[in-house]
Amino acid sequence: ESATPHNKSVAIIGAGLVGCLTALSLSKRSGYSVTLFELRPDPRLESTSKSSKNLRSINLAVSDRGLNALRRVDPGLESRILEKVIPMTGRMIHKLSGEEESQKYALDGKKGINSIDRGYLNELLLEELDISEKKVEVKFGYKLEKVQEDGKISFTNTNTKQQEQFQFDLVIGADGSFSKVRSELQKFIRLDYSQQYIDCAYLELSIPALDNNGFSLDKNHLHIWPRDDFMLIALPNLDGSFTSTFFAPWGLFESKELSNDEGILKFFRYNFPDAVELIGEESLLYAFAHHPRGKLLSLKCNQYNYKDKILIIGDAAHSMVPFYGQGMNCGFEDVFVLTELLDKHRDDLSLAFEEYSQTRVHDLSAIVDLAISNYKEMSHKVNSKLFLLKTKIDFLLTKSLGDRWLPLYTMVSFRADIGYAKAVQISKRQDIILNWIQAGIVGLVGGLGLWNVLGRWARK
Ligand code: FAD
């Protein structure tokens, strides 16, 4: 708890994961009165139809970085969330041959990431806002239309269809990848902005629970069926089911091969025979016929604020493809970084916003790029012998050098004290050493092989 000399009225746009945590974090500080606006209806109401709930993955992975940010907002919140997660201590690679290989995330085999239900997490954060000491007003069914330089904001009330205007001191946009606040912000600043849709779509499938909520796969792994150009993954849910996602290039989704039931079954039976058994053929075909194909967007901005008036945060400021499982974790970290700066510059919030823009950009740019490169790792490299050799050397060095050698994945997922950009910088240096050692081992094995052949030839 910290004090500000003023009372600022804050509008947060978007009651997704990041918007809710921002509202909660500010509500715990004196000097802010917070109103949270959300386009959709309250997800906790039974009448809220599935179609207006989030269509993205039902579960997601929360890692140390996200947990650290939650803990900073409220230690009790972290423990409440941890009660409802399933820890995943490694990746389980399912080979085409049917063989399974567990690749632990950490040396002790214990550290892991955590699978959590997206809807549950969002609803828990909304509950926290309701019971928060300084209650945050949450206005559902408000679609942001316009933000003005002076903090005047206009909405369409989706129930009455009427326009409504409000005035706030600060406006924080946590309204996701297609942020309206971001497009309004572009009118006031020279906002550098780039986006790229990667050539990959995703389709959500489901592996049902066994009787009595049993799991049909090891529940403490993130399961991956890597097949070079495409892959299947599965994350566990508390009820014994797994949410599985099929990622593939758009061309494959639209190909003749996957254009009818017979083709889909043939493709899955060949590439994922074990998974088809678990998903069930009927359910697989239902998903292909009825579930949407998700697009994957990678988006970067530079400068996230206009003076001390407007700021964007979470996916609104940086959308990343989901292959490092960091989108939400990074958004939660945004909240923590921002609130630290608001505390630091209590007397001049424009300094806080400026420093946020200037310093955060390096980490955000690094993780957006890393997420793209991890797609290649998950779908392709985890199958390659050279990659596995490099991972083994990486592990051996970690074991012998301890904290002086940290694999990139460890730094990103388990070391909230190391920023994303710093992690990349350290990893680049480690990579040079790894490549030398790897080349040495490959050279030695090759040399021994040649020696053997020459020896046999000489003895002939
Ligand atoms: P959002 O969740 O998009 O929330 C934005 C909110 O703003 C929404 O509620 C929306 O209705 C509202 N809104 C939008 N426009 C308006 C408007 N005009 N007026 C009012 N309200 C508005 N991240 C992880 O950390 N781990 C994972 O394992 C992971 N897995 C993922 C898997 C997939 C397939 C995908 C696509 C993403 C995954 N992510 C993961 C990323 C994660 O989902 C996002 O980073 C996270 O949801 C971003 O939260 P947010 O609150 O910034 O945005």
Calpha distance 176→144 (Å, rounded) = 12
98, part of any domain: no
105, part of any domain: no
Calpha distance 386→379 (Å, rounded) = 15
Give ipTM to 2 decimals: 0.99
Cβ–ligand 1 distance for 112 under 6 Å, the answer no
* Ligand 1 mean position, distance from CA 16 (Å): 6
* Ligand 1 mean position, distance from CA 97 (Å): 36
Q: Are residues 345 and 237 in the same domain?
A: no
For residue 112, CA distances in Å to 31, 86, 109, 223, 422 come to 37, 10, 8, 13, 21
pLDDT at 286: 97
Cβ–ligand 1 distance for 202 under 6 Å, the answer yes
Place of tokens 């490694």: 90
The last residue of one of the domains, among 329, 362, 377, is: 377
Q: How many residues does the chain have?
A: 460
Cross-strand pairs, 351: none
CA 100 to chain centre: 25
* Ligand 1 mean position, distance from CA 459 (Å): 68
Which amino acid, 455?
A: G
102, part of any domain: no
* Ligand 1 mean position, distance from CA 215 (Å): 28
Ligand 1 nearest atom to the CA of residue 329, by list position? 25
Q: Are residues 47 and 190 in the same domain?
A: yes
pLDDT at 2: 47
Count CB-CB contacts under 10 A for residue 418: 18
Q: Are residues 72 and 164 in the same domain?
A: yes
CA nearest neighbour of 420 among 362, 375, 341: 362
Cβ–ligand 1 distance for 410 under 6 Å, the answer no
Q: Are residues 306 and 368 in the same domain?
A: yes
Q: Tokens at residue 117, please?
A: 């239900």
pLDDT at 56: 58
Cβ–ligand 1 distance for 37 under 6 Å, the answer yes
Mutate to test the pocket of ligand 1, among 21, 54, 55, 60 (most ligand atoms within 8 A of CB): 60
Cβ–ligand 1 distance for 329 under 6 Å, the answer yes
Which amino acid, 122?
A: N
Biggest CA pair distance of the chain: 94
Cβ–ligand 1 distance for 15 under 6 Å, the answer yes
Ligand 1 nearest atom to the CA of residue 331, by list position? 52
CA nearest neighbour of 118 among 61, 80, 52: 61
3-state secondary structure of 132: coil
* Ligand 1 mean position, distance from CA 40 (Å): 13
Ligand 1 nearest atom to the CA of residue 14, by list position? 7
Kind and range of the H or E element at 97?
Answer: none
φ and ψ of 287, to 5 deg: -60, -45
* Ligand 1 mean position, distance from CA 336 (Å): 17
Cβ–ligand 1 distance for 156 under 6 Å, the answer no
User: Half-sphere exposure (CA, 13 Å, Cβ side) for 278?
Assistant: 24
Please state the domain count of the chain: 3
Calpha distance 54→43 (Å, rounded) = 9
Q: How many helices (H) and strands (E) does the chain have?
A: 14, 20
**What SS3 string covers 311-329?**
EECHHHCEECCHHHCCHHH
Q: Are residues 47 and 174 in the same domain?
A: yes
* Ligand 1 mean position, distance from CA 177 (Å): 7
Q: Which domain holds residue 435?
A: 384-459
330, part of any domain: yes
In the chain, what are the helix, strand and coil shares in percent, each to the nearest 5? Answer: 45, 25, 30
Q: Are residues 329 and 282 in the same domain?
A: no
Q: List the CATH number of the domain containing 350.
A: 3.50.50.60
442, part of any domain: yes
460 residues of the chain, pLDDT tens digit each: 444 457 899 999 999 999 999 999 999 998 999 999 999 999 999 666 555 444 556 899 999 999 999 999 998 999 999 999 999 999 999 999 999 999 888 877 888 999 999 999 999 999 999 988 777 999 999 999 999 999 999 999 999 999 999 999 999 999 999 999 999 999 999 999 999 999 999 999 999 999 989 999 999 999 999 998 899 999 999 999 999 999 999 999 999 999 999 999 999 999 999 999 999 999 999 999 999 999 999 999 999 999 999 999 999 999 999 999 999 999 999 999 999 999 999 889 999 999 999 999 999 999 999 999 887 766 666 566 777 777 777 777 777 777 777 889 899 999 999 999 999 999 998 888 888 887 787 778 877 888 888 878 877 7
Q: Are residues 17 and 144 in the same domain?
A: yes
Ligand 1 nearest atom to the CA of residue 180, by list position? 18
* Ligand 1 mean position, distance from CA 109 (Å): 30
Cβ–ligand 1 distance for 227 under 6 Å, the answer no
Q: Are residues 161 and 213 in the same domain?
A: no
The last residue of one of the domains, among 254, 274, 295, is: 295
Calpha distance 258→261 (Å, rounded) = 8
Cross-strand pairs, 115: 61, 86
Q: Is the distance from CB of 175 to CB of 36 less than 8 angstroms?
A: no
Q: Is the distance from CB of 4 to CB of 83 less than 8 angstroms?
A: no
What does the DSSP 8-state code read for residue 417? Answer: T
Cβ–ligand 1 distance for 326 under 6 Å, the answer yes
Q: Are residues 141 and 14 in the same domain?
A: yes
81, part of any domain: yes
106, part of any domain: no
* Ligand 1 mean position, distance from CA 17 (Å): 7
* Ligand 1 mean position, distance from CA 74 (Å): 22
Q: Are residues 31 and 175 in the same domain?
A: yes
Q: Are residues 322 and 372 in the same domain?
A: yes
Q: Tokens at residue 317, please?
A: 């400021």
Calpha distance 161→48 (Å, rounded) = 18
pLDDT at 152: 97
Cβ–ligand 1 distance for 300 under 6 Å, the answer no
143, part of any domain: yes
Mutate to test the pocket of ligand 1, among 315, 334, 367 (most ligand atoms within 8 A of CB): 315
The last residue of one of the domains, among 295, 329, 359, is: 295
* Ligand 1 mean position, distance from CA 327 (Å): 8
Q: Are residues 173 and 306 in the same domain?
A: yes
Calpha distance 337→3 (Å, rounded) = 17
* Ligand 1 mean position, distance from CA 440 (Å): 45
Calpha distance 88→101 (Å, rounded) = 14
Q: Tokens at residue 59, please?
A: 């579960």
Q: Which residue minimizes the CA distance to atom 15 of ligand 1?
A: 175
